[in-house]
Structures are given as C-alpha cells and as structure tokens.
C-alpha cells in the first residue's frame, strides 16, 4: 500500500534501533491486513524531546526499547496499572495528543507460555533480576502463578523478590529446586556467552517447561540441554512475537496476523 497523506505513523523509539526486527514484523502485518499504516525506527537519545515530537507530528503508536523504558514514564498522560507495577513502558498509544503507556513484555511472555500450559497455580523458577525478569515476574503473578527468584547479584535480586513478594536465592543454589517452569531472563546464552548456560544440565529434569528469553541464538545451550532432558522448550522469539502481537492489537483493534509476523521475525534472524 503506498504511503499518502492519510497514512498513520507508528515506530520504535530507542538508541540504537537499527538492529530491531519490529519494523519488518509490524509493516508485514499492516500490509497483510491492508491497513494504511507504516512503522519506522526512531533513533533518539532524548526521550522527552521524542515524546513531544510524537505529539506534534500525530504519531499514533510507538514501541519503546532500551534505554527509554523508564524515562518515558514521567512524560505520560496515563499508564496501565500493570506497567506502573513493573516500572517500565514498552508501548505508547497516542490519541489527540495524549500519550498512554503500556507494557506488553509480560503479555508476550505469558502468551508464549500459554501455548504449552495454563499459568494459574503453576510454580515458576525465574532467573534474573533485570527489567525483563521484572516484567515477566509481575505478569506471572497477574496469571496466578507462584514464583521463586534466583539471580547472581544479591542486592538487585532481593529487591525484586521483595517487590514480587516471592523468595530469592543465589543462582548457584538452584540445583535442587523443582518447579513446573524454568525461565531464563538473564543474558547468559547470548553474544559472547552463547556457549554458557545459567543452570547445570543435571537439574533440568526437575522442570516440565523451560523458556529462554534469549533469541539470538534461537536455540541456546540451555534449550538444547532442556530438550535432551525431556523438557518442553520455548525460545526467545516467541516472547518477542507475542509482545508485538499485543502491541499491534492495542494500536489497531484488529486481530494480529500472528503467522505473518512470526515468519517476518524468522526471516530477519541472522544465520547462526
């Protein structure tokens, strides 16, 4: 569909954003449904100036990524209650100059998990204490799951555990832990750490489902070893996909073309 005077503008705000797979995913979805919308990257160091520009230019919706997920909150006209609990926003909905903030990271994680299991009443061992772990943790609580948190750094781990109202233990003390679901929300397994794993393979038989939010590589060492141990596995691309699906539906009011979006993400992955 050609861009014209009626085209609605969406995009992703971050610094940097050149690596993002979101433009391809959302533009493919817009095109598939014949929507006169376009999604572009907004690389900006100043979140406040960017929000003002979005208001002035009539931008309709924005994904927010590093380093602006917390900085945008002070500029919002309204915030979703779960996003307020999480303390981070990754989605903006803009209407008549008013900017409302949401967090779909937790929705993406929950949707990925619910492809395999309902979450109410399930026990989860969550690894990590950063922004992703925080979003996933609050999302699991919203669904009625119970959580135990493990992390490398006691200070941040204990603070997040206190906010979630759950127990905390050091990452190295998880060998005897048993739960329905194990989620890696750390960076272990990506980049220079791609041949590392956050837990010993010997403990993986204690979990039925193992999810890793790392999506490059698509199959981390953790997931390979979990499969070998007989676990069901969920890769990081699933969370990325479903948080984008939630954004798309929030912005458009239309059911997202999930398989079109999934294929775009797969096509955009770098060869291993």
Are the beta carbons of 252 and 35 closer than 8 angstroms?
yes
Burial track 229-243 (b if 16+ CB lie within 10 A, e otherwise): bebebbbbbbbbbbb
Q: Is 148 helix (H, G, I), strand (E, B) or coil?
A: strand
Q: Where are the alpha helices (DSSP H) in the chain?
A: 22-32, 47-57, 81-86, 105-114, 131-142, 154-164, 221-228, 236-252, 258-268
- Cis? peptide before 67, omega within 30° of 0: yes
* Residue 196 annotated as catalytic: no
Residue with the two structure tokens 């999604």: 39
d(CA 237, CA 65): 16
d(CA 78, CA 74): 10
Exactly one of 69, 114, 122, 196 is catalytic; name it.
69
Hey, which residues are catalytic here? 69
């Amino acid at each position: 569909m050609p861009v014209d005077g009626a085209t609605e503008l969406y995009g992703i705000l971050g610094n940097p954003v050149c690596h993002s797979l979101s433009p391809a995913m959302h533009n493919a979805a817009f095109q598939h449904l014949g929507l006169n919308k376009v999604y572009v990257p907004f690389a900006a160091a100043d979140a406040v100036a960017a929000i003002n520009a979005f208001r002035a230019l009539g931008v309709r919706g924005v994904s927010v990524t590093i380093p602006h997920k917390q900085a945008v909150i002070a500029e919002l006209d309204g915030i979703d209650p779960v996003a307020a609990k999480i303390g981070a926003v990754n989605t903006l909905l803009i209407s008549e100059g008013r900017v409302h903030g949401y967090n779909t990271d937790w929705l993406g994680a929950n949707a990925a998990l619910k492809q395999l299991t309902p979450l109410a009443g399930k026990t989860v061992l969550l690894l990590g204490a950063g922004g992703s772990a925080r979003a996933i943790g609050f999302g699991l609580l919203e669904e009625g799951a119970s959580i135990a948190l493990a992390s490398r750094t006691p200070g941040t781990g204990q603070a997040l555990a206190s906010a979630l109202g759950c127990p905390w233990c050091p990452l190295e003390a998880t060998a005897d832990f048993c739960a329905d679901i194990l989620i890696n929300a750390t960076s272990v397994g990506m980049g220079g750490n791609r041949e590392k794993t956050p837990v010993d393979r010997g403990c993986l038989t204690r979990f039925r489902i193992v999810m890793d939010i790392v999506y490059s590589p698509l199959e981390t060492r953790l997931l390979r070893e979990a499969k070998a141990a007989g676990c069901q596995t969920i890769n990081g691309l699933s969370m990325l996909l479903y948080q984008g699906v939630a954004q798309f539906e929030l912005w458009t009011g239309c059911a997202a073309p999930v398989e079109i979006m999934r294929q775009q993400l797969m096509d955009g992955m770098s060869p291993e």
